Structure 1
């Protein structure tokens, strides 16, 4: 990549680090940018996956206050998400991209609507037997982890929706746990891609550095947003992301 191209990646990475911490749709910006700069869709996908991990880790550190006491929840949701991410990374090299191209807009739109209506739906779901919720939680974390390992645009939004529905947790702690899951999904797949995929390392390194700056800034912003406003931001970003991905397909 040219210095100008890397400069564009750097500027975008700063925004993406903040956006991922608040909502989780940063791939909407970085993926098309890298394709526009000449990378193949596969190279853009894996480079983005590797490059955003430091920003996600930095955001998790920024949310350490909200993560206190969340150990039991993390022990339930992290393992299936990690296993799913491995499966998704493997599927990237075995399934045609059209499979998730068509599924992603619908998943994101559904996730965004679930986030926006989360208080009402969560109240209704709490009447369901706990073991049913646990099964749904494990299955959904695995499935979204697989999506994150495969492509992952908006994976954080879907994690947020699932947590809001299936876990008794306030919005800000939900967002913190979402960032952990987002980090796991990208990190596990990214580690695999480091050894098996055509990562563009100059772009990945620049993206890693700038998202690491943006992540804590986004965490600080999210902490000061009221719960309703935070849900609204996540939901609106999710609907915009879904619309954009749908336009790409058709």
Structure 2
């Protein structure tokens, strides 16, 4: 690995850690960067999961004030995504490599679509809450959907945070900033579970992991501190461009 490759990976880790904390979908930054630098898609995904796990923990810690008094509920949600993440990692490790390379462009494309529609979903959720005037309590549907998102996150982490925000926003009556804190905590659970499993049984690049871990930890703290001041539309636009570039690159390989 050359020094400038290392610098690019570190900067991508900072960027991904910040975006994951503020919006989600930081994998859409690091995954195409690693693929562009010549890493196989499976190695890029597994190294991402391990390397970005410290960043998700850092982001969750940065949002701890929003979660005061809500940690027992976060713990219950964590069970669903924990079990789902185990299933997702098992799928990645058991499916043929060709299947992963076929599925990844579809998953990245889905993630890009979710990033694009997130503002509309948020507005619709807000209108729905105001019209109903009622609270949405956690129920089997929410826990089931979080389990499915955990499977997706264990298999390929891009946009799992966007999915969580959409689902929780529709099924819970909590402030959006609290939901963002919950999203960061649950994403940390998924990434840690996937990261621990991949670190022992999957092909990973430890130099990449180290650079991403350091960068994403810094980015997680930066994202938590300045996330409310950054225009989400700007971050979202960058994610969409990078995601589309990743889809094109993967389809042309």
Q: Fold match, TM over 0.5?
A: yes
Does the 8 A contact of 1:49 with 1:190 survive in 2?
Answer: yes
- Paired with 1:184 and 1:30, the residues of 2 have a C-alpha distance of 19
Correspondence for 1:197 among 193, 198, 202: 202
1:49-72 deviations in whole A, cap 9, x for unaligned? 100111111111111111112224
Partner of 1:116: 120
Partner of 2:33: helix, strand, or coil?
Answer: helix
Provide structure 1 residue ranges, at least 5 long, that are not aligned to the other structure: none
Partner of 1:69: helix, strand, or coil?
Answer: coil
How many residues matched?
245
Provide structure 2 residue ranges, at least 5 long, that are not aligned to the other structure: none
Does the 8 A contact of 2:93 with 2:202 survive in 1?
Answer: no
Partner of 1:16: 16
1:159 aligns with 2:161: no
- Paired with 1:90 and 1:142, the residues of 2 have a C-alpha distance of 14
Does the 8 A contact of 2:153 with 2:191 survive in 1?
Answer: yes
How big is the alpha-carbon RMSD for the aligned residues of Structure 1 and Structure 2?
A: 2.7
Does the 8 A contact of 1:111 with 1:161 survive in 2?
Answer: no
- Paired with 1:129 and 1:209, the residues of 2 have a C-alpha distance of 40
CA distance 1:238–1:118, shift in 2 (3 Å): farther
- Paired with 1:136 and 1:248, the residues of 2 have a C-alpha distance of 36
CA distance 1:37–1:245, shift in 2 (3 Å): closer
CA distance 1:159–1:245, shift in 2 (3 Å): farther
- Paired with 1:185 and 1:59, the residues of 2 have a C-alpha distance of 14
CA distance 1:200–1:18, shift in 2 (3 Å): same
Q: TM-score, normalised by structure 2?
A: 0.85
Does the 8 A contact of 1:25 with 1:238 survive in 2?
Answer: yes
CA distance 1:41–1:206, shift in 2 (3 Å): same
Does the 8 A contact of 1:81 with 1:185 survive in 2?
Answer: yes
Does the 8 A contact of 1:20 with 1:215 survive in 2?
Answer: yes
Alignment of 1:78-117 (within 5 A): 78-95=78-95, 96-97=99-100, 98-99=102-103, 101-106=105-110, 108-110=112-114, 112-117=116-121
Alignment of 1:180-191 (within 5 A): 180-191=185-196
